[in-house]
Structure 1
């Protein structure tokens, strides 16, 4: 499924659900039951109905617009993947979505707290103090390159590149999806290479 956006925006190429045969608006259960080419348009109607209240719930938990939007998108993606077997309360997907958003947001908040604790410890404990001069110069180059990354991207890069943690393990620790870890790590690698190259050029005699 194409990316889900908040508010009145629907998946790319998807129009609002319309069915002239229905006198009343279709229930969420009816929309999730649609198949084939009608499925994405029907799901887009669910996004339109529930995107804003879900964003409000996520924001109350995380107090970050970017994190709240990402959590809501992850919740809709989970609903899309599980739509054939999800059990709704009545005919509305909203209760299921709210529970999912709260669960994802709680994971993200715990991961944020663990990351902040790790960053505090890292500031108090020199990580490269025992290296010789040559290795210390390389370590300093890496430290500066990592410091230039956004905190979450730096933590993903540290886990996956320095500690050799798998995507799945990093996602579980940080309260992200594996897809988010892959995308952020790809961007982090590009920025690290660019930063190291630029620093190497500046330090060259």
Structure 2
């Protein structure tokens, strides 16, 4: 029985053989690649996604990467660590942002019959440009995420964040002046 081909030889395949050869590389290394991703992320879903992303990068770069030795595993492990670190940073940013948003003033409990406070809030919201007021209502009153507000209003998340930031600043200023 002939010796199995190395990863370098498999990745060098072209044409019809390329896809089957790459499948062999994936079969060889999917276990360790997933294990490294899971160790970094502690989430099965995130680990699967990062492992798939690493293999996708390997496929896209297969003709340009330089393997140390004949195995793709060291390259895959380094790639998974970088992808996992990026995912962890994104998760941390999202958590930090959501925590900060949770500590923003929340007007959902304001009862319409509370008179002066409710009137003050209505006037402050009415003074906002209509789209900014709608963004503020969705994000501050209805407590929807930026992504949900963006989808409902046909905006990007960045536009929702910018409009909400402007609305908050204006609401703060207007409410301070009313004191």
- What is the TM-score normalised by the length of structure 1? 0.58
CA distance in 2, matches of 1:154, 1:137: 13
Higher helix share: 2
Post-superposition CA distance 1:105-154 (Å, at most 9, x none):
0011011111111111111124887523996577444664835x9xxx66
Q: For the structure 1 residues 121 and 54, does the alpha-carbon distance in structure 2 shift closer, same or farther, using more than 3 Å as the test?
A: same
Unaligned 5+ runs, structure 2:
108-120, 161-179
Matches within 5 A, 1:1-205: 23-126=2-105, 130-132=124-126, 139-141=136-138, 144=142, 146-147=144-145, 161-164=156-159
SS at match of 1:78: helix
User: Residue 162 of structure 1: CA displacement?
Assistant: 3.5
Please give the alpha-carbon distance, in whole angstroms, between the structure 2 residues aligned to 1:32 and 1:138: 50
The structure with more radius of gyration? 2
Distance 1:131 1:33, change over 3 A: same
**What RMSD over aligned residues (CA atoms) do the two structures have, in Å?**
3.2
Q: TM-score, normalised by structure 2?
A: 0.66
Q: 1:75, 1:101 within 8 Å by CA — same for their partners in 2?
A: yes
1:83 and 1:132 mapped to 2: Cα distance?
58
Seen in structure 2, the aligned counterparts of structure 1 residues 35 and 115 have a Cα distance that, compared at 3 Å, is: same
Change (3 A) 1:138 1:91: closer
Distance 2:94 2:13 in 1: 41
C-alpha distance in structure 2 between counterparts of 1:30 and 1:39, whole Å: 10
- Displaced runs of 4 or more, over 3 A: 126-130, 133-147, 153-157
